[in-house]
Amino acid sequence: MINKLYGTSLSLLTDLYQLTMAYGYWKAGKAEQESVFNLYFRKNPFQGGFTITCGLNSVIDYLNEFHFSDEDLDYIGSLTGNDGNKLFEPGFLEYLKNMELQCSIHAIPEGTVVFPNEPLLRIQGPILQCQLLETPLLNLINFQSLIATKAARMRLVAGEDTLLEFGLRRAQGPDGGVTASRAAYIGGFDATSNVLAGKLYGIPVKGTHAHSWVMSFDTELDAFETYARYMPNNVTLLVDTYDSLNGVRHAIRVGEQLEAKGYHLSGIRLDSGDLAYLSIEARKMLDDTGFKKTSIVASNDLDEYIMDSLKIQGAKIDIWGIGTKLVTAFDQPALGGVYKLAAIKSENGEWDYKLKLSEQAIKVSTPGIQQVRRFKDSKGFVSDMIFHIESPLIGKATMVDPYDFTKNRSFPESTQYEDLLVPIFAKGALIYALPSIHEARERVQNQLSHFYKGIKRFVNPHTYPVGLEKELFDLKTDLIMKLRAGNEE
C-alpha cells in the first residue's frame, strides 16, 4: 500500500550516507560480503512496560517494489561533493540499476508484544543491500510501533468501550495521518475518521459532524433536524456548540422525530467542558426520555491518562474519539529504534561477530545472528531470551540479565516456548503469508492477555524479564573486553 499511496519508487527514501557507504562498499570490493543486521529499540515508549511491533506490512510492500528507477539513478548521478564534482561514478549507478534484492529477512509478526533489545527484524544478505535498507526499515517500523503501542494503552483503559481515531487533521502530514490510522487500528481502535485509510486498509470509517454545521444554521435545533432529515441512519449530534446540556435536549427532540420515522438517535458527542459531569447528566436525560441505547461520545484532546481519570470519576462515556495525542504520540514523538551490524562473513567463510561499544551500557549492541525465544507456562508468558542461532540450545537454557550478570535464570528443556522471529524473505523472495490487518489487531489483544498485569500498568510498570542466553552473553562480554583492550593499545 505504501508504494500505491505515493505512486513512485521509494528507493530514495533513505539518508545520503547510506548511498555513500554503499558506494564505498562497491569501490572496496565488499558489496557482496554477507552480513547480518538487527533492528531493535532500547526503551519502551511512554515510560511503559511493553511495546507493540507494527509496520511489517509496510516493510513488505516496500521491499516487494525495491528497485532504482531511471529517474532515481538520474538524480543520484547528479549529486555532487564538496568540490562540485560528481559523488558517484557511472559504474556504481549501473550496479544499482541491475541490483536485485538478495536479502533474507526474519521478523516478529505485527501485533506482537515486544521489549527493549529484542530484534524486531533480522536482515541477512550482501552488506551493500543491508545498508541501503537501514533508513527505510527504521522509518516504517519506528512510527507505526509507537502509535500501535499508544493505541493499545488506550484500549487497556477503554475495556469494551468503542475507540474512534479522529487524528487526521492534527497528524504530521498525509503519510503521518494514514500510517497512524493503520497503526491505531492494529493497536486496538475500532474505526477511523480517515476515509483514505479506510479505503487503503479496510479499516471501518466513522464520523459525526463539526461545530461549523451547527453554526451555519440560525438555531442548533434547525441544524440537528436538517442533519437527521438527510442522514437518518447515521445521526450522532455534536451538542456543545453553545450549551452542552441544552444541546442534549435538542438532540432528544430530534431523536423523538427519528423514532417516529423508524430511525434511531445513534449518539451525542461532547467535545468540551467537564466531560465527567456532562456525560453523567446527559446519560440521565437520555435514559429518562427513553434513549437508553443512545451512545455518548467524548472527544477533546483525550489520552489514556485522561480516560482513566474520567472512568474513576464515573463518566458515562461509551465511545471515545481520540486524535492529537494518539496520532502524534504526543508525550513521546519517537520510538528510538536502531539498526546495528551484528555479524559479517570473512574471506574464509566464517562469521566475524560485530559489536558497537559505548560509554553507556544501554548503547552497547549485541553481536550474533539472533533469535528471541519466549517461554511460557500455564499462566502465560514468563520470560524472553535472546540467543545466537549458531549456538544450538541443547538441554537446559540459562538466561543472563545483560546489565547485571549476577541475575540469571534457567529453563528446563521441557519448558514451553515459541521463537518469535519468523522467515519473511528468503534471498529477496517473499515467503511469508501476511496476516490481514484485522488478524494483526486480534493478535495484539491475544498477546496482551498472556502477560502479567503489572507490565500493563501506566505508573512504575513491572519489568518483564528479557535476557541473553549464557553463550551469547559470554560472546558479547569477550568482544567487549577485546575491543576495549584493542583500543587502549
DSSP state, 454? Answer: G
262, pLDDT greater than 80: yes
Q: What is the mean pLDDT of residues 248-265?
A: 98
Q: Is 264 helix (H, G, I), strand (E, B) or coil?
A: coil
Q: How many angstroms separate the Cα of 340 from the Cα of each of 133, 168, 317, 420, 458?
A: 12, 33, 46, 19, 30
CA distances from 323 to 171, 358, 473 (A): 8, 38, 43
User: DSSP per residue over 17-64, as a string?
Assistant: HHHHHHHHHHHTT-TT-EEEEEEE-SS-GGG-S-EE---HHHHHHHHH
Residues 442-452, mean pLDDT to the nearest whole number: 97
Cβ-based neighbour number of residue 90 at 10 Å = 10
> Listing from the earlier edge strand, what are the strands of the sheet with 295-298?
191-192, 162-165, 319-322, 295-298, 267-270, 236-238
320 DSSP β-pair partners:
163, 298
pLDDT band of residue 13 (cuts 50, 70, 90) is very high
User: What residue spans define the domains of the chain?
Assistant: 149-327
Report the CATH number of the 149-327 domain: 3.20.20.70
Residues 296-346 have pLDDT tens digits of 999 999 999 999 999 999 999 999 999 999 999 999 999 999 999 999 999
pLDDT recorded at residue 242 = 97
pTM of structure: 0.95
Spatial distance between the Cα atoms of 14 and 391, rounded to a whole number of angstroms: 34
**Location of C-alpha cell 472527544:** 299
